[in-house]
């Protein structure tokens, strides 16, 4: 069988619901079957759902999979799941699959006990152009919220009987501790056929034949972990899979090419985990279970050819029987020829840098893969949706339609004007390590996002840093006065370097994930004026400088109201005077405020770590949790958590409302400034000018540790 995944963002690892359509559904980072995120469908008497249309063709067959669990002790609601087929006009043609999960059948996500639904889907009927994947939580008074994750609709294509002649199932069923960068050792061999070899008890798997191999692996780790595949001692790109929880299955799959040398050596390693990982053989019952496994199928041997001229390259691209084209380092000009049409994938490679291709401006790259050391020349900006090349970013943006996706190929782009995005679209590179935009030193604001539904991804943006004034690298301005925000903004995988402030933000449903902020200014890195809906700031690195203030501030502008959910988790801060400051003036209903799993090190920047300016009515906060953070501060008279009344406000939190749980404090004593009231056991307290009635009863402090 060969497989093609149709669902986009089925694991919700973008930190958003996009491109799902949803009702009463939120992204959560508190529970997940795998990875960091999942979708949470609100229980009770309301209807909650999410759905996604995917393209299909008549006759295609599919395999559907989803994982579900409930939250809390209330019974789970009934759930309906279906895959329905539609034509171009969205007329319903029939179901490929329908199932119902009766009430009170789901177990708890808290116990990591998930229901897997895995079903074959009937073939798409004649006239089908799209399928609707629909997950519907039905009304049930008093029922629990449910979590869904890892939704998959795989196209399955039968291959001719007998074409797969090499395959293996290899596994381990004994206890094992896999240290960082060590191989998993497999003590048992299942069925092995053809040119695949493995000695029981060893970690190396020998592949004797060239070709493409489908690899699937599973690791039952007792610890949070990351594992990856290595071929001939080199990490295979795109094979690192992670599990953020303990006692959770980590599964991964990939298709890899094995060419040279033959034989090749494949192994699975504990790669980039924070700790050694224990594989425990008795989990969930009385019998020894499989702790790790790997399955291998040799699918196909690719056909390749070598080229050194534009004419040879053009001829090779027009030959559908060629899978790999090896280019000599040189310039290849195809711009004078009509765009090449392919219906089979071909990969262009070079063994050293220097192979550059100028395509026709309307070349479709869907089936042309630019591999190692091959890049486009001249026109290096590509509208993936329109399948057109452009010479500049400004040209590409001006020609884009709403919801287009624009790709910047690797290179350095000199940008003399501000980039203004005023329509829904995605602007991305392949990697922030090699796709750089250098903005002109005169620009006060280099990037302005002025539309709903904008994604910025995998770009390294460098802008000027000015000593004074309203200078920031990017901004998301106010959409309309007094409190209308641009909605659904995602910035991920970027390096953002420059600006007195790196960013200045008003937004609704904001995600900033996996970025590195390099701050050399004299203000804050991220200045968030206000957010509403769901605000997620996760897995970022904040690298400060000699004058850097806070990594993140919520600082009202005077009219805008912050509401909804705020999640700040798994970030790393180096050399800022504060990690996060919450100025609660003009805050509305806050569903959740979560600061979790951040690694905070002030270095020589003296300041308090997590600060509240207690101006808002704390009855508007349903949940305030500060948990599992690591705080290092070598500067005396500072606190890890501070209620700061010196700038106004007299609001008093409710009894044990601020939950400070399981944090690690390495903060130099004495704790707190002059006039501060500080807990005797932890660097937690409140400033002078606090209300007389204020006591430490407003904090719930459990499981925290102090290094100094």
427-438 pLDDT, tens digit per residue, is 999 899 999 999
Cα→Cα distances 283→175, 183, 416, 691, Å: 11, 22, 60, 52
580-622 pLDDT, tens digit per residue, is 999 988 888 999 999 999 999 999 999 999 999 998 889 999 9
pLDDT for the residue numbered 160: 42
- CA count, 13 A, side-chain hemisphere, 105: 12
Asked if residue 578 lies in contact with residue 555, where contact means CB atoms within 8 angstroms, the answer is no
pLDDT for the residue numbered 566: 96
4-57 pLDDT, tens digit per residue, is 789 999 999 888 899 999 999 999 988 888 888 899 999 998 899 999 999 999
Q: Any bridge partners for residue 235, and if so which?
A: 230
pLDDT for the residue numbered 161: 39
**Beta strand ranges found along 539-657 (DSSP E):** 541-543, 550-554, 562-569, 572-574, 578-583, 587-596, 599-601, 610-613, 624-627, 630-633, 641-643
**What is the mean pLDDT of the segment spanning 281-298?**
82
- Average pLDDT across the chain, whole number: 92
Q: What angle do CA 563, 564, 570 make, to 5 degrees?
A: 115
pLDDT for the residue numbered 157: 61
- Give Cα 320 distance to the centre of its chain: 35
Q: Any bridge partners for residue 363, and if so which?
A: none
Asked if residue 73 lies in contact with residue 85, where contact means CB atoms within 8 angstroms, the answer is no
What's the rounded Cα separation, in Å, for the pair 15 and 512?
A: 9
**Beta strand ranges found along 46-187 (DSSP E):** 48-55, 61-70, 79-86, 92-101, 115-121, 130-137, 146-157, 167-172, 176-178
Q: What are phi and psi of 353, to 5 degrees?
A: -65, 155
513-530 pLDDT, tens digit per residue, is 999 999 999 999 999 999
463 pLDDT above the threshold of 80: yes
155-211 pLDDT, tens digit per residue, is 876 444 345 789 999 999 888 999 999 999 999 999 999 999 999 889 999 999 999
What is residue 398's three-state secondary structure?
Answer: helix
Q: What is the dihedral of CA 665, 670, 673, 676, to 10 degrees?
A: 80
DSSP string, 26-61: EEESS--SSBS-EEEE--TTS-EEEEEEEE--TT-E
342-370 pLDDT, tens digit per residue, is 988 899 999 999 999 999 999 999 899 99
Structure tokens at 492: 């991920």
Which contiguous run of DSSP H or E holds residue 393? Answer: helix 393-399
**What is the mean pLDDT of the segment spanning 678-702?**
96
Q: How confident is the model at residue 453 (pLDDT cuts 50, 70, 90)?
A: very high
Asked if residue 499 lies in contact with residue 473, where contact means CB atoms within 8 angstroms, the answer is yes
**What is the mean pLDDT of the segment spanning 225-236?**
95
Q: Which one-letter DSSP state was computed for residue 697?
A: G
Structure tokens at 698: 């407003």
pLDDT for the residue numbered 244: 78
1 pLDDT above the threshold of 60: no
pLDDT for the residue numbered 619: 92
Q: What is the dihedral of CA 15, 16, 20, 26, to 10 degrees?
A: 100
Q: How confident is the model at residue 564 (pLDDT cuts 50, 70, 90)?
A: very high
Q: Any bridge partners for residue 583, and if so which?
A: 613
What's the rounded Cα separation, in Å, for the pair 593 and 584?
A: 12
Does the model's pTM come out above 0.85? Answer: no
Asked if residue 236 lies in contact with residue 201, where contact means CB atoms within 8 angstroms, the answer is no
DSSP string, 399-447: HPPTTEEEEEPSEEEEE-S-EEE-SSEEEEES-TTTEEEEE-TT-SEEE
When mean pLDDT is compared over 103-107, 174-178, 213-217, 276-280, the highest value belongs to: 213-217
101 pLDDT above the threshold of 60: yes
253: alpha, beta or left? (left if phi > 0; alpha if psi -120 to 50) = beta
Residues in contact with 352: Cβ distance below 8 Å, sequence separation at least 6, in sequence order: 329, 373
């Amino acid at each position: 069988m060969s497989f093609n995944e149709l669902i986009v963002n089925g694991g919700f690892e973008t930190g958003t619901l996009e491109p799902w359509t949803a009702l009463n559904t939120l992204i959560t980072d508190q529970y997940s079957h795998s990875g960091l995120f999942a979708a949470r469908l609100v229980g009770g008497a309301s209807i909650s759902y999410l759905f996604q249309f995917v393209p299909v063709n008549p006759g295609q067959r599919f395999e559907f999979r989803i994982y579900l669990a409930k939250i809390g002790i209330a019974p789970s609601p009934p759930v309906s799941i279906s895959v329905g087929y539609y034509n171009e006009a969205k007329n319903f043609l029939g179901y490929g699959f329908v199932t119902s999960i009766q009430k009170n059948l789901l177990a708890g996500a808290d116990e990591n006990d998930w229901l897997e639904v895995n079903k074959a889907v009937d073939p798409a009927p004649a006239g089908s152009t799209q399928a609707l994947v629909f997950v519907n939580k039905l009304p049930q008074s008093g029922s629990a919220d449910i979590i869904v994750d890892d939704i998959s609709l795989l196209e399955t294509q039968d291959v001719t009987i007998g074409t797969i002649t090499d395959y293996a199932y290899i596994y381990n069923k004994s206890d094992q501790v896999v240290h960082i960068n060590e191989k998993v050792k497999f003590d048992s061999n299942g069925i092995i056929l053809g040119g695949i070899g493995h000695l029981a008890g060893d970690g190396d798997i020998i592949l004797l034949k060239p070709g493409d191999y489908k690899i699937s692996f599973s690791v039952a780790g007792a610890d949070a972990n990351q594992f990856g595949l290595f071929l001939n001692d080199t990490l295979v790109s795109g094979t690192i899979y992670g599990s953020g929880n303990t006692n959770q299955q980590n599964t991964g799959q990939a298709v890899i090419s094995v060419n040279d040398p033959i034989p090749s050596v494949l192994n699975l390693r504990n790669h980039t985990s924070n700790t050694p990982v224990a594989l425990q053989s008795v989990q969930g019952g009385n019998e020894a279970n499989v702790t790790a496994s790997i399955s291998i199928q040799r699918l196909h041997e690719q056909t390749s050819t070598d080229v050194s001229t534009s004419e040879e390259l053009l001829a090779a691209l027009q030959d559908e029987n060629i899978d790999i084209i090896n280019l000599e380092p040189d310039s290849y000009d195809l711009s004078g020829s009509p765009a090449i049409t392919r219906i089979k994938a071909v990969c262009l490679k070079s063994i050293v840098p220097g192979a550059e291709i100028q395509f026709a401006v309307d070349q479709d790259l869907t089936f042309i893969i630019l591999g190692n050391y091959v890049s486009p020349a001249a026109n290096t900006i590509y509208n993936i949706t329109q399948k057109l090349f452009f010479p500049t970013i400004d040209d590409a943006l001006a020609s884009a339609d709403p919801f287009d996706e624009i790709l910047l190929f690797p290179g350095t782009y000199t940008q003399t004007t501000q980039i203004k995005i005023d329509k829904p679209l995605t602007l991305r590179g392949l990697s922030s390590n090699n796709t750089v935009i250098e903005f002109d030193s005169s620009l006060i604001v280099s990037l302005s996002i002025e539309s709903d539904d904008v994604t910025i991804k995998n770009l390294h943006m460098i802008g000027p840093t000015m000593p004074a004034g309203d200078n920031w690298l990017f901004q998301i301005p106010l959409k309309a006065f007094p409190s209308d925000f641009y909605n659904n903004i995602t910035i991920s995988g970027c390096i953002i370097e420059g600006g007195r402030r790196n960013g200045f933000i008003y937004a609704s449903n904001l995600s900033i994930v996996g970025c590195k902020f390099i701050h050399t200014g004299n203000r804050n890195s991220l200045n968030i004026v206000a957010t509403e809906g769901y605000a997620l700031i996760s897995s970022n690195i904040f690298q400060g400088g000699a004058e850097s203030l806070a990594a993140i501030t919520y600082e009202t502008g005077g009219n805008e109201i912050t509401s909804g959910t705020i999640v700040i988790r798994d970030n790393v801060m180096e050399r800022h005077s504060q990690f996060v400051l919450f100025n609660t003036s003009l805050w509305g209903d806050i569903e959740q405020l979560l600061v979790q799993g951040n690694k905070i090190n002030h270095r020589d920047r003296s300041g308090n770590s997590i600060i509240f300016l207690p101006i808002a009515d704390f009855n508007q906060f349903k949940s305030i949790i500060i948990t599992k953070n690591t705080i290092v501060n070598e500067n005396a008279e500072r606190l890890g958590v501070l209620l700061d009344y010196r700038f106004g406000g007299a609001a008093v939190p409710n009894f044990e409302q601020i939950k400070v749980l399981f944090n690690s404090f390495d903060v130099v004593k004495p704790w707190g400034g002059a006039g501060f009231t500080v807990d005797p056991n932890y660097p937690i307290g409140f400033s002078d000018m606090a209300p007389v009635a204020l006591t430490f009863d407003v904090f719930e402090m459990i499981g925290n540790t102090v290094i100094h």
